[in-house]
Structure 1
Amino acid sequence: MKSKKLLLSGYKITSDENYINNLFPIPHELNIQLADLHYLAQKGKESSIKKFVRLIEKYPQVPTLKNYLSVTYQNMGNRKKANEVNHWIIAEHPNYLYGKINLAAEYWQNQEFEKIPEVLGEKLDLKALFPERDTFHVDEVIAFFSITVIYFAELGEIEEAELRMEIMKEVYPESPKIEIIEGILFKAKIKAASKRMVENQENNIYIDIEPTKSGNKTEMPQFNHSEIEQLYTNGSGISENIIVEILNLPRKTLIADLEKILTDSVERYNYFLNYDGLIEENSSFAIHSLIILGELKASESLNSVLNFLKQDEGFLDFYLGDTLTEIIWQILYNIENKNLDIYLKFIQEPGIYSFCKSAVTELIAQTVLHNPDRKTEAIGWFKKVIIFFLNSKIEDNVIDSIFLGSLVNNILDIKANELLPDIEKLYQKNIVDLFACGDFDDVQKLFREESLFTNKNEILSITETYNKINSWSENQKNPFNDNDEINDDYEYIQNSIEKKEPKVGRNEPCPCGSGKKYKKCCLNKN
């Protein structure tokens, strides 16, 4: 891969507005009309065609006019005519860079990517394309690198595309084209990530999870405190007064009631799953119970909580949704963060859902980030986990590639370099999900790099926890449109083909390479 310095070597960059005019002289009487002509081209009106044709006949030596004619056809939706003009420009003005870029963009739209180097040169290097020139206008540089970013992005060569994206930002950070090309690059990264994910899934090892054994009960259990029944009729927007009222109940009987809710969530799972009138307000009782147990720091309830987390994926998604990956680690932290051996036993049990185990390793990592003096203890805990999986067999139903990828990420969070030799053994055994943080070489690189973001998550108050969950509920009512089209002001790449792109799941690692989950990183930048 070429360096930024090499890609920018051999020429100067100017912002002199007269530079292009000097390369392709434009008579004064035409030059004063260019701004209006540019506007007409962008509007894409059929009435402008005759005007451009007349001007081209009068000034055949000016390639800009043909370029505007191509843009006009493109914005009218007449790609065939636009393409004909592009080839005309190349034939009559072979040294006109924008003509080459238009033609390359045409090949992009036609998905004829192999033809782009035929137009822009095999090296895709600006100086190599025009060796006789020692200066380029900044708009030429941005336009050239825009199409090369797109080219490499479409080929899935993301590093090459990102390198040229960085050059664009350095050369002209205010360019409106940057946001457009970043959007195209981001989609390409998701596409490449989805492809890697599919490839990795074929090699991953998965566990078998026993279906949740639900009963036939339909009636709510009897509670020590009638106030508890309010947890069955209120969702994430539950009144703070109700929570305070419940927290003020006698601790022992309150905890017994909260544990009874967790038992009820299992026993009546089938009932709620098939309940016609199910809404958020009458299906949030389990998460209410968990949050309140966390607020009470009810270590005596840890076994009940862990038994709840031993259920199958459908059950956990039904009751917890996004809270599983966002909130559960904190609930466990509040309930018990001293006796880590309990969590070791949980991790070692067969048939535990990947993200429940990941909540535990997130808890251990956050314990270190909030209590740095416990790092040695946590490293010892992580080492025991790794040794357990190294000594396990597939038939034990504990080896879980997705969880092990998450485990490596949590070890990275606390920069436990001492565990690198053990992590390498996991990779040698081919049991780590490569989509999570790459191969072992990538992991070594991540250990050496300084993180650009903090891995330390805030410990939320109970009010903040509910506010966070409530904001998710609101977002689900008004989800962003995955198919929003990028408004592209790039003269030729203005009406780019809308493609159905593969999606990355909210709980999967972000394709940007940050190591965060997609929903915590780039989801809202799409």
Structure 2
Amino acid sequence: MTEPTVTLTPEQEAALPQDWPTMAAQLEHYQEDFPLLALHAALRQPALSVAPLLAELSACAAAPAQRTDDETGWMLHLYAMHLLATLREPQAFAPLLAIARLDGETLENLLGDHLTEGLPRALAATCAAGQEDALQTLAGDRTAYFWSRSAALRALALRTLEGDYPRAALLAWLQGEAEREAARMQDEGLDPEQGSETDYLSELVVTLEEIGAADMADQVAEWFEDGLIDDAFLELAESQKRLQRSWAECVAEELDHGWGYPRDIIAEIGRWACFQPDEDDEDEDAEREPQTPIKREAPKVGRNDPCPCGSGKKYKKCCGANA
């Protein structure tokens, strides 16, 4: 775990919670005031925080409705996922897998954007060496929610990019998995316009792109030509370009924009939408200030990035589908 960039003043240091009940009081429910001290305390004092955070993840997997139906804004499960991932706590892996196997509607309500952002990174960071087969099983399970399967693939790629899982091992599994999925689609007469039932091959190709699987470029091109990959979500030329990247390019490009193990998690949590100024407040401030025209291009949204609309889905499966 790296040192958080959000530093504390001497007064804040003196006020750090020294017991779990005090931390929990700031972390259990949403509060407008950012829980800076509780987050610092939880990371600095794992002897106090890890056990109750693990208990929260297990309780979340067993009784998710108690979190999603909480009108007071239950937040502890989200903090638990991110804090334990930052601490690289391997005991969090099993309850996170259990959460990932909840039904889709529950997961969307429970995690929101964190389903495609935080969950893959948390699975990757808490997975111990030798447990990658559990991620492979989840990814290949057609009874699991599609975005949980996608999260498992992202976690496998991330562990490889971070140097904790051999690239050759992941490549061999991806090749076999993709070939089996392509054969299934052809045998069953499926095409990629039939929804998430047929999107798994495209997700596998994205994972191959993430690790620069140049040896699979010709096979991927054939899948495009055979109509097994929806070119509304993946473009052949761009896919071929990404597949041909060197390993160094893959690591740099995939990890440099923050897609790695959680490290400076307090700063990341501080950027969550719930801690940003309310739009109504911003509108009131704007009415008081002179308006100056600003020309600015919207930032590019990658096809596998979370959709800016806040749906929790990937851009390519949401607003990007009509782009």
Structure-1-length-normalised TM-score: 0.41
Count residues with an aligned counterpart: 263
Q: CA RMSD in A?
A: 4.4
1:156-235, aligned counterparts within 5 Å? 226-227=21-22, 229-230=24-25, 231-234=27-30
1:294-373, aligned counterparts within 5 Å? 294-336=85-127, 338-339=129-130, 340-371=132-163
Q: Is the 8 A contact 2:39 2:266 kept in 1?
A: no
CA distance in 1, matches of 2:305, 2:148: 16
2:64 is the alignment partner of 1:269: yes
Q: Is the 8 A contact 1:258 1:293 kept in 2?
A: yes
Counterparts in 2 of 1:247 and 1:505: CA distance versus 1, 3 Å: closer
Amino acid at match of 2:57: L
SS at match of 2:253: coil
Instruction: Give the one of 272, 286, 290 matched to 1:472.
Output: 272
Counterparts in 2 of 1:360 and 1:246: CA distance versus 1, 3 Å: same
Match of residue 14 from structure 1 = none
Match of residue 311 from structure 2 = none
Counterparts in 2 of 1:508 and 1:435: CA distance versus 1, 3 Å: farther
SS at match of 1:434: coil
1:416 Cα deviation after fit: 0.6
Match of residue 416 from structure 1 = 213
Aligned-residue identity in percent: 15
Counterparts in 2 of 1:267 and 1:518: CA distance versus 1, 3 Å: closer
Gaps of at least 5 residues in structure 2 are 1-18, 189-195, 284-292, 294-302, 309-313
Instruction: Give the one of 33, 36, 39 matched to 1:240.
Output: 36
Q: Is the 8 A contact 1:299 1:336 kept in 2?
A: yes
CA distance in 2, matches of 1:326, 1:342: 20
Gaps of at least 5 residues in structure 1 are 1-223, 482-486, 488-503, 510-516
CA distance in 1, matches of 2:50, 2:151: 22
After superposition, the C-alpha distances for 1:250-303 in whole angstroms (9 at most, x for unaligned) are: 64x85443233123334543344444x33xxx3211111111221232223312
1:269-288, aligned counterparts within 5 Å? 269-275=64-70, 277-278=71-72, 282-288=73-79
Counterparts in 2 of 1:414 and 1:296: CA distance versus 1, 3 Å: same
Amino acid at match of 2:268: K
Amino acid at match of 1:264: A
2:170 is the alignment partner of 1:378: yes
SS at match of 1:435: coil
CA distance in 1, matches of 2:233, 2:277: 26
CA distance in 1, matches of 2:41, 2:224: 51
CA distance in 1, matches of 2:32, 2:154: 23
Amino acid at match of 2:265: T
299-308 vs 418-427, which deviates more?
Answer: 418-427
1:308 Cα deviation after fit: 0.5
SS at match of 2:255: coil
Q: Is the 8 A contact 1:265 1:286 kept in 2?
A: yes
1:380 Cα deviation after fit: 1.8
1:42-121, aligned counterparts within 5 Å? none
2:257 is the alignment partner of 1:455: no
Match of residue 260 from structure 1 = 55
1:432 Cα deviation after fit: 3.2
Q: Is the 8 A contact 2:211 2:243 kept in 1?
A: no
SS at match of 1:321: helix
1:421-432, aligned counterparts within 5 Å? 421-424=218-221, 426-427=223-224, 430-432=227-229
Counterparts in 2 of 1:249 and 1:470: CA distance versus 1, 3 Å: closer
1:352 Cα deviation after fit: 1.8
After superposition, the C-alpha distances for 1:292-318 in whole angstroms (9 at most, x for unaligned) are: 221232223312110101112222222
Q: Is the 8 A contact 1:400 1:431 kept in 2?
A: no
Structure-2-length-normalised TM-score: 0.63
Counterparts in 2 of 1:324 and 1:469: CA distance versus 1, 3 Å: farther
Instruction: Give the one of 425, 431, 443 matched to 2:239.
Output: 443
CA distance in 1, matches of 2:96, 2:32: 20
CA distance in 1, matches of 2:69, 2:155: 33
CA distance in 1, matches of 2:176, 2:22: 43
Q: Is the 8 A contact 2:141 2:149 kept in 1?
A: no
CA distance in 1, matches of 2:40, 2:255: 28
